[in-house]
Amino acid sequence: MWIKTTLGDYINTDCVFQFRTTELKSGEVTIAAKTINNESYRHVAYFSTRGDAQLYLDRMMKIIAPNVFEVNMNDWNYTGHKKDQKETRRGGS
């Protein structure tokens, strides 16, 4: 799939390995893509709200890489398995 940039040229999604969002002082949000063969980011879209930018990125991820995901363990807040009363009880019935 090809993505049209804000300058009017196109990026092959097979070559994109990173998206970056930047919030401007005016409150607008820009989305830029970095490709394998290009060292700089190329602006893909501008949005007036962060929510609209997030929706755009969610749709892009569903189209471009449905089998690729990343789990941030800090956000997940997994503390491990905690034993309940039945597992800690010793003795008879």
Per-residue pLDDT tens over the stretch 11-27: 888 888 888 888 888 88
Per-residue pLDDT tens over the stretch 43-91: 999 999 888 888 888 888 777 765 555 555 555 554 555 556 655 556 5
CB 86: neighbour CB atoms within 10 A?
A: 6
Nearest to 46 by CA among 56, 34, 59: 56
Asked if 33 and 21 count as a contact pair (C-beta separation under 8 A), the reply is no
* Cα 33–chain centre separation: 12
